[in-house]
């Protein structure tokens, strides 16, 4: 960008958006916490939302389809290839051009792609609800296509203090471990990236919010289905813009609200309003759609005044998508059979939940020493979106944004699946949850950052 102008990084093309409600019924199985004494939902705090955006350009044969859902994760990884193959066929979209991003709320049912109801409390309702989701995805994408208009997508960056570092060294003298909770002495990445979609008349058609903070406010005491803080954020932003909001969870492996783990729904509402008003602050600080500031000379007054004039801005219509793989190292975990036996023999509910999750991951990983982690990279004009199904630490987004400072870079966790953390290598010397939860071994994050940098270089070239 010239020193004599200011403009927002942008993309110009055809963009359509649509939303639908995907709230499950009361009574559905939704246990997300090992410490939870209950298994089913007793009420609804806020509705869960599915948002679809279809982006197209004359420069890209296949449109890009972005789907955001207020859901925690995918429990059955083995079923993902067939699920996405069917969805890509029905939507007539290339594999690299479809991203399904989950907000990762810990107060909603997981995506359970099972062939029959699970023999658990609320299992029938969970199965019926999951069976309804593919049709809702397809119908919402089709509606977004119908609503497509000529539009400009512009980006701006702000800050929000909601996220804090949650890797806290246990202060107990007899413990040498980290626990998951607010760490007062650590500094969190507070970057807030906001995209604004406007039509030719300047009307806001959608906003995109990319922020890194675990939605873990509502925890084991909570019995209500909720999108966590994202629900109140959506209420604030959509109330002000009268347009759908898309939430893209950033690289938040070690980030979460300072106060969390509660059953009080007023807390995530307050968190969501904090983020929502930060988003509005960014939006109100942006220039009008399709406008830039151009230096137009000096006006001599009591002081020599630099005059900046609003003029029309040109936007790139470049649209590209790629899907690459990075072979990340795997730990020497127990086999699936060993984990099944451990689950059957375990008398503790919390430990059983840990084993169950580990078993699902082991079944999907197979017995190799590495795992081909997919990276989905999109270029939309001057901006880049990059996501994977892993939960990367925030150093990933900090590194990539530093290396591509001229481009807005939206980094996303839990895209097209959910599998495990990507912690920094030094943490493998510590007793810390993200390290012993993840199937990935030391060096996984560093290899992913290198591969992501290469992927962004390729797509921008």
How many CB atoms within 10 Å of residue 382? 21
Q: Hey, what are 87's tokens?
A: 């969805």
Q: What pLDDT is attached to residue 56?
A: 97
Q: Do 391 and 424 touch, CB atoms closer than 8 A?
A: no
- Vertex 448 angle, CA 111 and 154, to 5°: 75
Nearest 5°: phi and psi at 240? -85, -35
Q: What pLDDT is attached to residue 62?
A: 82
pLDDT, one tens digit per residue, over 333-392 is 788 888 888 888 888 877 887 787 778 777 778 777 899 999 999 999 999 999 999 999
Q: Which residues of the chain have pLDDT under 50?
A: none
* DSSP bridge partners of 357: none
Q: What pLDDT is attached to residue 101?
A: 98
Q: What pLDDT is attached to residue 118?
A: 85
DSSP for 192-254 reads EEEEEEEETT--EEEEEEEE-----SB-TT--EE--THHHHHHHHHHHHHSS-EEEEE-S-TT
Q: What pLDDT is attached to residue 368?
A: 76
The contacts of residue 168 (CB under 8 Å, 6+ apart) are 178, 179, 180, 181, 182, 183
Distance CA 281, CA 273 (A): 12
Q: What pLDDT is attached to residue 421?
A: 97
- In three-state form (DSSP H/G/I as H, E/B as E, the rest C), the secondary structure along 267-301 is HHHHHHHHHHHHHHHHHHCCCCCCEEEEEEEEEEC
Give the three-class secondary structure for 18: strand
pLDDT, one tens digit per residue, over 53-98 is 999 998 777 899 999 999 999 987 888 999 999 999 999 999 999 9
Helix-then-strand count for the chain, H and E: 9, 23
Q: Give the orientation angle of helix 336-345 with respect to helix 349-365, to 10 degrees.
A: 170
What does pTM read for this prediction?
0.95
Pairing between β-strand 245-249 and β-strand 10-21 as defined by DSSP bridges:
unpaired
User: How distant is the alpha carbon of residue 122 from its chain centre?
Assistant: 27
Q: What pLDDT is attached to residue 212?
A: 99
């Amino acid at each position: 960008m010239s020193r004599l102008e200011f403009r927002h990084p942008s993309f110009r093309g055809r963009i359509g958006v649509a939303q639908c409600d995907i709230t499950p019924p009361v009574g559905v199985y939704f246990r997300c916490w090992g410490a939870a004494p209950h298994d089913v939902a007793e009420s609804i705090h806020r509705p869960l939302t599915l948002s679809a955006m279809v982006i197209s350009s004359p420069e890209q044969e296949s449109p890009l389809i972005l789907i955001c859902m207020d859901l925690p994760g995918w429990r059955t990884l083995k079923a993902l290839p067939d699920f996405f193959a069917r969805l890509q066929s029905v939507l007539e979209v290339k594999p690299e051009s479809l991203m399904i991003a989950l907000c990762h709320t810990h107060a909603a049912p997981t995506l359970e792609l099972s062939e029959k109801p699970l023999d658990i409390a609320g299992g029938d309702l969970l199965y019926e609800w999951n069976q309804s989701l593919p049709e809702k995805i397809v119908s919402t994408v089709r509606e977004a296509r119908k609503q497509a208009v000529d539009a400009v997508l512009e980006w701006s960056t702000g800050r929000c203090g909601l996220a804090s570092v949650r890797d806290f060294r246990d202060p107990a003298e007899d413990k040498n471990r980290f626990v998951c909770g607010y760490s007062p002495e650590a500094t969190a990445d507070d970057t807030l990236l906001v995209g604004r979609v406007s039509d030719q008349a300047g009307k806001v058609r959608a906003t995109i919010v990319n922020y890194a903070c675990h939605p873990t406010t509502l925890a084991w005491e909570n019995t209500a289905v909720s999108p966590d803080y994202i629900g109140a954020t959506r209420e604030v932003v959509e109330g002000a813009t009268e347009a759908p909001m898309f939430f893209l969870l950033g690289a938040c492996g070690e980030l979460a609200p300072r106060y969390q783990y509660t059953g009080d729904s007023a807390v995530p509402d307050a968190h969501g309003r904090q983020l929502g008003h930060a988003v509005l602050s960014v939006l109100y600080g942006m220039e009008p759609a399709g406008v830039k500031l151009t230096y137009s000379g000096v006006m001599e007054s009591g002081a020599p005044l630099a005059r900046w004039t609003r003029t029309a801005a040109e936007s790139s219509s470049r649209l590209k998508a790629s899907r690459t793989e990075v072979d990340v190292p795997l730990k020497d975990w127990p086999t699936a059979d060993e984990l099944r036996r451990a689950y059957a023999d375990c008398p503790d509910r919390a430990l059983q939940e840990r084993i169950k999750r580990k078993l699902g991951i082991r079944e999907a990983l197979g017995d190799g020493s590495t795992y081909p982690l997919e990276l989905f990279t999109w270029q939309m004009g001057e901006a880049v979106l990059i996501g994977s199904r892993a939960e990367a630490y925030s150093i990933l987004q900090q590194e990539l944004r530093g290396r591509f400072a001229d481009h807005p870079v939206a980094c996303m966790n839990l895209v097209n699946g959910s599998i495990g953390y990507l912690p920094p290598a030094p943490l493998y010397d510590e007793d810390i949850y993200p390290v012993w939860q993840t199937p990935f071994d030391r060096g996984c994050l560093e290899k992913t950052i290198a591969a992501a940098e290469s992927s962004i270089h390729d797509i921008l070239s």
